[in-house]
Amino acid sequence: MSLGRVALPVWMMAWSNPDDQLSEERNLERATRCERMLDALTAFFEAEMSGGRLRPVVRARRARLPAGTHIIVRARPEAAAAPSEALARDLDSAFAQLGDEAVGSR
């Protein structure tokens, strides 16, 4: 995962700024490697979502936060067995503790 965080932006910059000195064969080789990496990342996230380990609970509530707000949500081990509805209630409760002024009323 950490490799993807570094490699993906670098690949995207390379795609948008091609080097004229690279051969067509080299470009094809790089594109094939990038495609395999993206396929692997897609498969990983699909497996995490189907296994219930990646949930859209936070994403659905981000609109309530003021623009530019940074939030870090760390799940505890017991959250793995909790249903998404319970996690959503806990997140709503945490936002409520911040107060309407901090969270906004959007």
pLDDT for 106 equals 46
pLDDT tens across the length of the chain (106 residues): 666 677 778 777 776 665 555 567 777 888 888 888 888 888 888 887 787 666 777 777 777 777 777 777 777 888 878 888 888 898 888 878 776 555 444 4
Is the Cβ–Cβ distance between 38 and 76 less than 8 Å? Answer: no
Helical H segments across the chain, by residue range = 2-16, 24-50, 84-98, 100-103
pLDDT for 2 equals 66
The pTM of this model reads 0.43
Domain assignments of the chain as residue spans, ordered by start = 1-54, 55-106
